[in-house]
Amino acid sequence: MRPTLADVLPSVALALDGQAENPLGVHPARDVVVLLIDGLGAELLSRHADVAPTLAAHVVTTLQAGFPATTATSIASLAIGAPCATHGIIGYSFALRSGDGLENFNALRWRTGNAEGPDARDAVVPEDLQTVTSTVAQLAGSGIDIHFVVPGYQVRSGLTRAAFGVSGHLHAAEDLAAVRDGILEVARHDNGTGRFAYAYYPKLDAVGHFRGPESPHWLHVLETVDAAVADLFADLPDTCTLLITGDHGMVGAEERIDLDAEPLLHEGVRLISGEARVRHVYADHADAVADVAGNWGTVLGRHAQVVTREQALDEHWFGVTPPIETIAARIGDVLAVAQGTSVLTCPGNEPMESTLIGHHGAWTDDEQLVPLISNRL
């Protein structure tokens, strides 16, 4: 079975404890930094190894992001060390109970309604939505100093609070040069306390969304990331292991299905959440689920795999361990997973997302597979 993003930090914890025998073979070191390049897919990197020779030459293994292959879920799985059936951040957006009804909740932006909705950090307290102790928090509890090399706003975001569950030293990094400098600042110290740093760079994903994965603009960003990593590999002290991975890959949209324009898709449906490659569909009532699944399967045809929540759970889509009841309730009664290069758009509630060129979340290797790269081969 292929390892996943959720396996990375448990191996890091062992490596920081000096144990070379860990599942991913992470090189023991005083300090470990995990740099997440948003949108760095293994298949994309393999196809463009000539543009990113340093990254390509230092791949130690390939990981599966986990389902769905989307940033909010993947960051949580990485930090917590468990899949989303355990931590409950089951997608880009999903339904939460609100009084007697359901409300769409955007986990990436931590907003209700949609990505532009009101800030939900008070209404949906991150530490209450996600209660599992993260591997990062466990590291802090064992005496490891925790550092974040991320855009400044992220340390206060709902997602960071939910996924990491621990504060740390911030090295604000708004661009690639600052990411490089922040990682070196973490690694260059002479005290005896070990350090763990989580670093993040978003531009590859953003350019992939707006310009397209494998576009000239995307390739240029990949090339600049590779050059920065080459410099890091040369400058890092031998007391630091640097691991680089992605949260998902990406596919380019070729066939767009406007869900708002198909009346049959709304019969018996209370709410549609998720994103364009993975839709959570919530039925008006339990008796409507079979009809909703049938309607969606009929309308979408070859564009999507349509299953019920029960089938997805039986097949362990969200992780091997069954979710607790409150987490299971967040999953749509019906799931529609886009196939090929189709996307399932909701322009009314997602005007910006519906215009994007690059998308991710579903089961293709281009979306699911991410590299694990190390300076210690």
Contacts of 332 (CB under 8 A, 6+ apart): 94, 95, 273, 274, 279, 280, 281, 282, 309
Burial of 377 (0-12, 13-18, 19+ CB in 10 A): exposed
Q: Residue 95 is encoded by which pair of tokens?
A: 């339904």
Tell me: pLDDT of 100 over 90.
Answer: no
CATH code reported for the domain at 5-89+130-250+363-374 = 3.40.720.10
- Percent of the chain, pLDDT > 70? 100
Distance CA(126)–CA(117), nearest Å, equals 17
Q: Copy the structure tokens of residue 340.
A: 């090929």
Q: Please give the structure tokens belonging to residue 240.
A: 């630091």
Q: What is the pLDDT of residues 154-201, one digit of tens each?
A: 999 999 999 999 999 999 999 999 999 999 999 999 988 999 999 999
Specify the pLDDT at position 273.
Answer: 98
**329: which 2 tokens?**
């309730």
CA distance 24 to 8: 7
372 contacts 22 by C-beta, under 8 angstroms: no
Q: Minimal CA–CA distance to 334: which of 317, 349, 359, 356?
A: 317
Is the CATH number of domain 255-355 3.30.1360.180? Answer: yes
What are the beta bridge partners of residue 308?
334
Q: Give the residue extent of every domain in the chain.
A: 5-89+130-250+363-374, 255-355
Q: Tens of pLDDT along 218-250?
A: 999 999 999 999 999 999 999 999 999 999 999
Tens-place pLDDT, residues 245-286: 999 999 999 999 999 999 999 999 999 999 999 999 999 999
Q: pTM for the whole thing?
A: 0.97
Average pLDDT, the chain: 97
**Could you read off the pLDDT of 309-366 as tens digits, one per residue?**
999 999 999 999 999 999 999 999 999 999 999 999 999 999 999 999 999 999 999 9
Q: What are 62's strand-pairing partners?
A: 371
pLDDT value of residue 377: 76
Q: Are 333 and 282 in contact (CB under 8 A)?
A: yes
pLDDT at 1: 83
Q: Which amino acid is at 163?
A: A
pLDDT of 101 reads 87
Question: Is-same-fold flag (5-89+130-250+363-374; 255-355)?
Answer: no
Q: pLDDT by residue (tens digit) across 63-87?
A: 999 999 999 999 999 999 999 999 9
**Per the omega criterion (within 30 degrees of 0), is the bond before 126 cis?**
no
